[in-house]
A and B are shown apart, each in its own frame.
Chain A
């Protein structure tokens, strides 16, 4: 480690000549989605130094190499550096059918462009400094976003909400480092260090990192969604609840107990988060073979769901069957050591014979309780807000911080957090100034890893994983 292992005049014997992979080629690809029903307009993007000349060769009417007219297109040039990749970019908007798109792309390739590798536009944007790593990572998120909130978060990520927070934290670390290090060498010429100010700064940075970490959970929800299992004894209105909530007729509703025998799914969005509702068979002891399997499945779903909604009927009140069911749910939960919250939904509130005082007695068994009427839709918004609170969405300020944190970023944030904590204890123990720099540098390194300003092996492999290059 200390001494070079090779003579420097020898150079690097192995690598003979390095022709850069990312040469000055111009790349082209269809950037709108294929496979679905054709849209009215499809887009082909060209990026690279000869993007403009290729587009010019094709002209407003795209001709193939034999001079046949392929399509009529709208040409949108975006010149370097004010484009997505910071290269010359031309987008050709042609008719949306797959045949059209493929033929126009073919013509571009014939005119000298190269087919872009997956993610190559984003890679170029990243390499040309248009996006940093966390921004580039969000491009992928945006493309595969399932809900509006997820798309908003990804977009906020691209626009740099998160990375500008990380960058400013890192800048603060480095500023503090500079302050301290300058005093190591030029103490006489500098005003004395204000320790309280430094401690304050560190505390604030720690706070910001903590806040960012909270959104890590949100990111997971945005990406994978929430599963809500609706359970209860037969004929309390579980299927009606699902239908009313999802504003559909997904589940068959009858007066006959045991109508639902299998799991019925419906997708909705709660507070911008994709939610899957799972209607289950009413749980009871039964001899019916099919219904028995249904009941087993209901229990399985209830244990794996993120939130369990237990429905009871206000008309019947709290019955001994409900009591037994609750016990079963709780014992299943503790067996699988799950911590998913359980919400009590008192349905058919319109049919309530008396005041529902028994609910208060049960409040310690449930995380929340809500009164609903599936037929009129009464109480559904209360149910949604209960869910929002239980999965922790209310901690994300609406309209405030929209970006989210992925796993890789989360690890580095944790690393930065630990460094700040150690730094605080160093200050408390009155360890000399010079030692503070070690943990400050650690924090700066961790934060730099997030934005890709400090490149580690991990970041590099991330880049290669993301952009399919070098294969």
Chain B
């Protein structure tokens, strides 16, 4: 092991332990294995020149300056295409990964099967929702793109779970999926045309949809190329390190970091009823060959299934009897960057319900569905079930809610925002096409609808993510990263969250920097990845608020103060954004100070607070005390002139949450502290679990397979019992004590030896330090 270890050290060049806390971002530098002691300031955004001058590497030869002209040269000399990072797949994971990587200065290539389907939303066109919105906020706080695009392309926005506490509050946006895709495509393309002026999207011009987003272009990354290609092979070097990819048409692209975000495309098959065809999505061909290639390298693969709802022509829907669902009057935003907060007119969603006839029809035809008919074995998501799953699993429920979501089409009459078709989340089904229309017509309002596209299920290959580290680099092949549905997740937000992490790490890896890991307790992103790599998941993974044990600390409103300092350190947050962030934090902390000092005696405010809270107000109470009373909100201060106009609505909310729930937050923090110390105890990489007779047989097997890095991870591996964890802790502690004993012994003997030669104590200290 010692040999491999030092080998890793030299190969990685530099390992900077990166640490960050909410209030006090700091970097520690660790000694390099080389005879050089190099302390690089990480606030310097690209330490590239310094690194490459220290450790010249042939693979960096092309990366120092990438320009359009060089691109052209590369195209001419195709066999020589070298990059720092190659991202395979242009979905929500791929886009975040490519953008993050390019913005960090890595010369990046994005390979996709279809350039016009970048960041496509094949299922219901919505971003956010419970737990998922936290992911979007977090990606944005790190400097990602999904939040900004969703803010720009929303058709309707609603904050869900308002009354259920700040930790579970969630923003959801219905989006215009065509606009979304074209926006993302522009952003990705713009990364290498620095001077291009931002053009408002055509759709706005044509249809005059309110205000035109004129977001100032603030990030220009001149080194992201896009290419259509189907990757069939991973090129692997002698040291089990990735060297590039090989495409179907025989091209080879080289890079020391490759990110695979294959989504549902790897050996994808779509099913409608009993009929299937190879495809990644309706109308798009699947990718073949890569699975077999990965299997050859020893990767374990498996199949998963997910569904997408039917579309109906909205002109054939009778909305008059349906319950409308309007957007919020006060719009909330995913992005913390106020430059992207541009309001637009909203559309309405409608609610309908399944009826007795719906249920009857499904029950009669269960044998016709892939899962219950038994011809698709791949597991579907339990948390986003198809309508037949819902009806089978919740037998006693007479009716299920169905959403009719707007989806703006390209062929609309101008000025008239008629929905051209509807997505049905929760109405995805695997029934044969001839049964789908009768089924849809059992729903109130859809009695005469015409179906534009049937619902279908898609089945695809994924790689159980215990084969990845928490940096999303695979354990088997150095420099190879997996992100998104390939890791077994479902959802655009989950994909984007993994994408930004793998993008950052791919760029850092190609640059010889240490990889970044978000701890479980730091964020939903961290929780997501930790779950993926430790639990042996066999069904699509969807983010849920209940998956985070410390969600009160991981709220939407504090995603920026949790992660933006880290984003800044990594290099994805520019000066402007950083200043915005710092100003906001300063205003919040000033306001909290003010509320502590301003006192109120009597008056209308006190009267109303007594009324609202049902508690008496003491003489000269501070505003802080008043805010802590039940049901009292900051709004009351505004109403009686005790508010602070300098603060935005969101900032006031932050102040309110920090003060109102202070006790709970402190308690959860102390729970966390208690746990973290134990959970972050590291497990040696070369632990021989099979030799530990105090572990159960199942634990020995599972731990050997997953090879967790910490005790906390080990405890989350399925089949590992609390007794096993106790045994592990005891083994660790005994080892520690024994090592300590040995060191003391060595020190003693060296003192004895040196003592004979009359060497002073200080010399011994120096000797032991080196």
Contact = CB atoms under 8 A, between A and B. Distances in A.
B693 interface: yes
B515 interface: yes
A452 B724 CA distance: 11
Contacts of A470: 730, 733-734, 737-738
Contact of A454 (B545, B631, B722): B722
A21 B544 contact: no
Interface stretch (B206-214, B247-255, B454-462, B677-685): B677-685
A438 B164 contact: no
A438 B17 contact: no
A185 B544 contact: yes
A453 B383 CA distance: 29
A183 to B, nearest CB: 9
Given A8-B469, A455-B729, A432 B165 contact: yes
B686 A432 contact: no
Given A2-B21, A129-B721, A13 B5 contact: yes
A445 interface: yes
Contact of A23 (B667, B671, B691): B691
Contact of B566 (A2, A24, A126, A129): A2
A13 B685 CA distance: 9
Contacts of A19: 688, 691
B549 A441 contact: yes
B693 A22 contact: yes
Contacts of B730: 21-22, 127, 460, 463-464, 469-470
Given A8-B471, A442-B671, A457-B677, A18 B17 contact: no
Contact of A129 (B471, B674, B723, B736): B723
A201 to B, nearest CB: 19
B692 A20 contact: yes
Contact of B722 (A182, A445, A455): A455
Interface in B508-553: 514-519, 521-523, 526, 544-546, 549, 551-552
B167 interface: yes
Contacts of A452: 722, 726
Contacts of A445: 671, 674
Interface in B638-690: 661, 664, 667-668, 671, 674, 676-678, 682-688
Interface in B717-741: 721-723, 725-727, 729-739
A258 B99 CA distance: 99
Interface in A429-463: 429-435, 438-439, 441-442, 445, 448, 452-457, 460, 463
Given A182-B546, A470-B734, A471-B737, A127 B15 contact: no
B62 interface: no
B20 interface: yes
B41 interface: no
B22 interface: yes
B674 A12 contact: no
A252 B545 CA distance: 77
A413 B465 CA distance: 40
A3 B733 contact: no
Contact of B28 (A5, A127, A182, A186): A5
Contacts of B21: 1-2
Contact of A10 (B15, B168, B397, B688): B15
Given A2-B21, A15-B739, A435 B664 contact: yes
B256 interface: no
Given A22-B730, A129-B723, A2 B469 contact: no
Contacts of B401: 188
A129 B731 CA distance: 15
**Most chain B CB neighbours (cut-off 10 Å) among A17, A23, A127, A442:** A127
A8 B517 contact: yes
A185 B547 CA distance: 10
A397 interface: no
Interface in A1-49: 1-24, 49
Contacts, number: 209
B2 interface: yes
Contacts of B738: 21, 470
A49 B674 CA distance: 37
A188 B730 CA distance: 45
Nearest to B522: A2
Contact of B661 (A6, A24, A435, A464): A435
Given A1-B21, A1-B676, A454-B722, A17 B671 contact: no
A209 B671 CA distance: 21
A272 B326 CA distance: 72
Contacts of A184: 130, 161, 164, 168, 544-546
A430 B630 contact: yes
A168 interface: no
Interface residues of A, number: 62
A286 B675 CA distance: 65
B131 interface: yes
Contacts of A439: 667
A366 B522 CA distance: 62
B376 interface: no
Contact of B517 (A3, A21, A185): A3
B546 A181 contact: yes
A2 B562 CA distance: 8
Contact of B734 (A182, A189, A469): A469
Given A2-B519, A429-B630, A16 B2 contact: yes
A441 B549 CA distance: 9
Nearest to A24: B693
A9 B468 CA distance: 11
Interface string A408-443: 000000000000000000000111111100110110
A17 B726 CA distance: 20
Contacts of A186: 383
Nearest to B738: A470
B635 to A, nearest CB: 17
B9 interface: yes
B44 interface: no
A53 interface: no
B394 A189 contact: yes
A326 B687 CA distance: 71
A334 interface: no
A6 B164 contact: no
Interface string A125-149: 0111100000000000000000000
A17 to B, nearest CB: 6
Contact of B667 (A7, A430, A433, A442): A442
A434 B549 CA distance: 11
Contacts of A129: 696, 721, 723
A471 B736 CA distance: 11
Contacts of B694: 20, 22, 124, 127-128
Nearest to B549: A441
Nearest to B521: A1
B386 to A, nearest CB: 14
B8 interface: yes
A100 to B, nearest CB: 31
A22 B522 contact: no
Contact of A455 (B22, B131, B693, B725): B725
B637 interface: no
B737 A1 contact: no
Contacts of A8: 469-471, 515, 517, 709
B155 to A, nearest CB: 22
A22 B661 CA distance: 46
B754 interface: no
B729 A14 contact: no
B518 A18 contact: no
Given A184-B164, A438-B671, 14 more contacts: A2-B519, A2-B522, A2-B526, A3-B20, A11-B5, A13-B5, A18-B731, A185-B130, A185-B544, A188-B401, A433-B165, A435-B552, A438-B664, A463-B726
6 contacts: A8-B515, A14-B739, A129-B696, A453-B722, A460-B730, A463-B730
Nearest 6 interchain pairs by C-beta: A432-B165, A434-B165, A181-B546, A2-B522, A470-B734, A11-B685
